[in-house]
């Protein structure tokens, strides 16, 4: 049986790994669309793309991901993260395609400890989170039986810049790095998430995976400081060079959730095994992450979660 897949945002950190995973799947016909190929804020363009490619499953990896910039450009972020999924849901409803839409743990406030369940009440603290929540609501309302929202967080992978790649670079450039220690989450390898999305899409087609909300994050949890220290260990560098600071010492335009851990209960109903522990994934991913970072041009600064003794963020 041939299954046609369409991936939006195929040039991004996750989109690349989704396309790579689908390329290894027997019977899959894969169309990966970059932003220049398809602007998801344009409803007419989306309908034309679905008419041309006739996908059975659409995986929406296109998103506005600049969390801080969303504070001053909320309308622009909402056009991508809210209107875009709404247009996709409407086109999928017309064509009969299943839609897998990526969302974020930032739909939660993160003001209480413990993993957040799929059906917990959202309460975003920043503009980015509000835009992602609106996108979720649009997908679930437009596709009550064939719409899937997959919340994820703390993505790392070889397909683009991310926190781990930044730590690899800063270990080489700086004597010490200061990283926040009071935000807790689940580092998630894009290759693991891509595999999970493919399994969910197949479950959707077989009608064994109920429509609704799922949490696509790794098992286990840590802080940004803990993730930085683990990265240094894998580099055979001294983890003591990673100093801990609080979020108050690193003021950003957008508030970050202190507790961003998600539960994975919904996967049991779908008969799908959740993603493995983040440490195991990071260890396997690390050679490719290291190679990719060494090939990239120098970056402008550290990251939204760290600073060094010579760079003020």
Catalytic residues: 128
Residue 11 vs residues 14, 18, 69, 159: alpha-carbon distances, Å? 8, 10, 21, 8
Angle between helices 224-234 and 163-173 (to 10 degrees): 60
**Matching residue, tokens 């049986």:** 1
Q: For residues 141 and 250, is the Cβ–Cβ distance under 8 A? A: no
Q: Rounded to whole angstroms, how far apart are CA atoms 293 and 72?
A: 30
In sequence order, what DSSP letters do the residues of 91-138 get, joined into one string?
HHHHHT-EEEEEEEGGGS---SSSPBPTTSPP--SSHHHHHHHHHHHH
Q: Rounded to whole angstroms, how far apart are CA atoms 151 and 185?
A: 13
Q: Which of 163, 165, 282, 179 is nearest to 225 (CA)?
A: 179
CA 36 to chain centre: 20
Token pair, residue 158, equals: 């070889």
Q: Which of 47, 2, 52 is nearest to 29 (CA)?
A: 2
Q: Rounded to whole angstroms, how far apart are CA atoms 31 and 23?
A: 10
């Amino acid at each position: 049986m041939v299954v046609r897949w369409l991936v939006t945002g195929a040039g991004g950190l996750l989109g690349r790994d989704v396309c790579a995973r689908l390329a290894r799947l027997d019977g899959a016909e894969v169309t990966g669309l970059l932003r220049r190929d398809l602007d998801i804020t344009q409803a007419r363009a989306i309908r034309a793309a679905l008419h041309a490619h006739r996908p059975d499953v659409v995986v929406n990896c296109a998103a506005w991901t600049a969390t801080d910039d969303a504070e001053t450009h909320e309308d622009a972020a909402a056009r991508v993260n809210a209107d875009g999924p709404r247009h996709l849901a409407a086109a999928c409803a017309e064509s009969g395609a299943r839609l897998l839409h990526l969302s974020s743990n930032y739909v939660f406030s993160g003001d209480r400890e413990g993993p957040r369940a799929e059906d917990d009440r959202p309460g975003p603290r920043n503009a980015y989170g509000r835009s992602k929540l609106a996108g979720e609501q649009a997908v679930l309302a437009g596709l009550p039986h064939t719409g899937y929202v997959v919340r994820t967080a703390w993505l790392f992978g070889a397909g683009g810049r991310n926190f781990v790649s930044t730590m690899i670079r800063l270990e080489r450039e700086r004597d010490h790095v200061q990283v926040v220690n009071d935000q807790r989450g689940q580092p998630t390898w894009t290759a693991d998430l891509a595999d999970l999305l493919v399994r969910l899409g197949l479950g959707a087609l077989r009608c064994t995976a109920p429509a609704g909300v799922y949490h696509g994050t790794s098992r286990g949890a840590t802080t940004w400081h803990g993730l930085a220290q683990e990265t240094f260990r894998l580099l055979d560098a001294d983890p003591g060079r990673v100093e801990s600071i609080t979020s108050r010492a690193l003021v950003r335009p957008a508030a970050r959730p202190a507790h961003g851990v998600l539960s994975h209960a919904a996967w049991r109903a779908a008969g799908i095994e959740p993603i493995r522990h983040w440490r195991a994934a990071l260890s396997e991913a690390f050679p490719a992450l290291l190679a990719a970072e060494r090939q990239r041009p120098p970056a402008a600064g550290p990251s939204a979660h760290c600073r060094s003794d010579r760079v003020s963020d």
